Amino acid sequence: MAGSLPFGRLDGRRAFVSGGARGIGAAIVRSFAGAGARVVIADLDIAAATALADEVGAAAAGLDVSDAVAVRAVMAQDGPFDILVNNAGVDQHAFFTDTTAGDWARLIAVNLTSVLACTQAALPAMQKARFGRIINITSEAARLGSKGGSVYSAAKGGVIAFTKSIARENARYGITANAIAPGPIRTPMLEQAVAKGGEKILQAMTGATLLGRLGEPEEVAAAARFLASDQAAYITGETLGVSGGMGIGG
């Protein structure tokens, strides 16, 4: 790989991380900034995004990534980007019969439409540069289904299918697109699920992994950093489980 950056380095690369203010996104921001990337953190929570940006030498944008018009405006102002991490997401804690059309719209908007919006806004510059890394954070819930997370799982399944299609359409531009499917990761999202569902939920989640434990946000960030690196140039259209073996089936 002549001319490529050293293993895992992202020096000079410009990265956009949605939902980067906390949890998995924040670990990705820290990892990418530490590897030399210039990172823009796009998050609804502008205060937390700004605090993290100041800490790691990144930039922050207050943004609802499910709003395609707002995404386009921020990308036009802060871009172009070499790396796009579609990480923002919201989960669901209700059986399908207890959900409303409003719940479906919000879950699909934040978990799937945001991925479409950010990808469409980022792609033209990547195509022009003939280089790009798109990393979509899906979930093992997409591959296994989820009791109490039906619409979330459907949206995350859409992310996997979309990733494969984007990989097919953009290989000729030197752009790769991959997904990461986390299992249960210790973040505010998971803490909220445990607060709602109790210890039983926590035990069920860790019990579903082969390794019998929660994952850490840094373990997802390490996979994202590898997929963003020059060394991952021959990997595209894949979904990588970072889930303690949860995704391999029974």
Q: Which residues are catalytic?
A: 152
Please tell me whether residue 88 binds ligand NAD under the rule CB under 6 A: yes
> Pick from 143, 165, 139: which is nearest to 237 by CA?
165
Q: How far is the CB of 135 from ligand NAD (least distance, A)?
A: 11
Report the 10 Å Cβ neighbour count for 140. 24
Binding mask 93-112 for ligand NAD (x = CB under 6 A): -----------------x--
Q: Using the Cα atoms of residue 13, residue 16, residue 22 and residue 28 in order, give the sign of their dihedral.
A: negative
Alpha-carbon Rg for the chain in angstroms: 17
Tell me whether residue 21 or residue 33 sits nearer to ligand NAD (CB atom).
21
- Judged by CB under 6 A, the residue of 5, 14, 45, 96 near ligand NAD is 45
Q: Binding to ligand NAD by residue 163, rule CB under 6 A? A: no
Tokens of 250: 């029974």
> Rounded to the nearest 10 degrees, what angle do helices 199-207 and 188-197 cross at?
120
Question: How far is residue 187's CA from residue 220's CA, in Å, rounded to a whole number?
Answer: 11
Residues in region 110-149 near ligand NAD by CB under 6 A: 110, 114, 137, 139
Q: Is 244 in the site for ligand NAD (CB under 6 A)?
A: no
Q: Judged by CB under 6 A, which stretch of 51-59, 161-169, 187-195, 221-229 contacts ligand NAD?
A: 187-195
Distance CA 171, CA 241 (A): 22
Name the site residues for ligand NAD (rule: CB under 6 A).
18-19, 21-25, 43-45, 63-66, 87-91, 110, 114, 137, 139, 182, 184-185, 187-190
